[in-house]
Amino acid sequence: MPKYPQNKIGIFGGTFNPIHIGHLAMAEAIRETIGLKKVIFVPSYMPPHKSSRKLTAAALRFQMVKSAIKDNVFFGLSDSEIKRQGKSYSVDTLRYFRKTYGRSTGLYFIIGADSLPELKKWREVKNIFKLARIVVVNRPGYSLKNLPSGAVSINLPGIDVSSSQIRRLIGRGSSIRYLVPQAVCKIIQRHKLYR
């Protein structure tokens, strides 16, 4: 189990297809609760456990995240998975950040409770736990019981919104105002995404 120094960085990966207020509120709450110096958003290039058929181009998802977090000095953005291309494996991403920040920084890898059932199938899951402290956040309909050894849970006030819900709303012509930042909404409209 790695030691966790005062310098703490959160790593928040995902497709962010699109990023929404739930992602942002969760990242801010975790940052404050754990005392993270920064939360780095890492849009995936191609998630290994999801279908890529309906995945918006990585460059556009990156642009949406960039526009969503630009006003928060405690949020950062990495294109490491996009530059690496291929399937985005968490262990490779954590190795990249461990090499970038060295041993003097504690890495906190943020996942939702909905990822727990699949966690044991992730590539080199034992090494993921060696590289970072796993932070599991509650999600509606998923339990925070029976966490893997070494993981910590955070129970946050739920904002029951998901990227798939937003895509469905757009698909039927409904408003997504206040579910995503206005800057993200403009990108979605400009590029006619999710229609």
**pLDDT computed for residue 50 by the predictor:** 66
Scanning 89-162, the segments in alpha helix (DSSP H) are 90-101, 116-119, 125-131
Q: What are the distances in angstroms from CA 184 to CA 62, 79, 93?
A: 11, 18, 25
DSSP state of 106: E
Global pTM reads: 0.93
Give residues with Cβ within 8 angstroms of 87, minimum separation 6: 45, 46, 47, 48
State how far the Cα of 83 lies from the Cα of 74, in Å rounded to an integer: 23
Residue percentage of the chain with pLDDT more than 90: 75
Predicted confidence (pLDDT) per residue in 123-145, tens digit: 999 999 999 999 999 888 888 88
Q: Look at residues 35, 36, 39 and name the one whose alpha carbon lies nearest to residue 14.
A: 39
Predicted confidence (pLDDT) per residue in 25-73, tens digit: 999 999 999 999 999 999 999 988 766 667 999 999 999 999 999 999 9
Side-chain half-sphere exposure of 125, counting CA atoms within 13 A: 12
Q: Helix (H, G, I), strand (E, B), or coil: what is residue 75?
A: strand
